[in-house]
Homo-oligomer: A and B are copies of this chain.
């Protein structure tokens, strides 16, 4: 058959994203992608030669998404508060609607068992993410929107860590955890 062929690669990537961010690298197999799609494992290998390649593409897409999202946030005015809220909403959506974790969580957990390529992508992503959040924190303090008395980098790190943890605890303790933790982040910034 193979009628609408153009979109197969995209479908594979989408399923892989959900699975990678939802279960981790070692928590899914090619079958979890191919069977629900009604294709064969070999079709995945046609588009992505290895599992490492596939997950590397997932990481790359997440970085691209983040880049375009954060660029978007910045367009809508320079308000640090707005940018923080946009990022919080993005994370909130990923956790509550998509039931996904930040890829950094999944990489960190299985660190020792992963191909170098994936680890490298994760390190780059963490640098990009922290750089963005650090700028938001700096901006917020300059504009007297946020209050904190440590390095902006440290505050950004702490915010990111808290959000990572929220994603995990929400799975164990229920979705209300996410909003409680996000509230606390705002509160700790003097909002």
Contacts and interface: CB of A to CB of B under 8 A. Distances in A.
Nearest to A19: B112
Q: Name the residue among A106, A110, A161 with the largest chain B CB count within 10 angstroms.
A: A161
A186 to B, nearest CB: 10
A69 to B, nearest CB: 20
Nearest to A32: B113
A184 B172 contact: no
Interface string A151-169: 0001101101111111111
Interface residues of A, number: 50
Contact of A172 (B112, B122, B150, B169): B122
A109 interface: yes
Given A180-B158, A184-B150, A171 B108 contact: yes
A24 B148 CA distance: 35
20 contacts: A24-B26, A24-B27, A26-B110, A105-B109, A109-B109, A111-B171, A123-B173, A126-B172, A130-B173, A150-B187, A154-B180, A154-B181, A155-B184, A157-B169, A157-B173, A158-B180, A158-B184, A158-B188, A160-B169, A163-B165
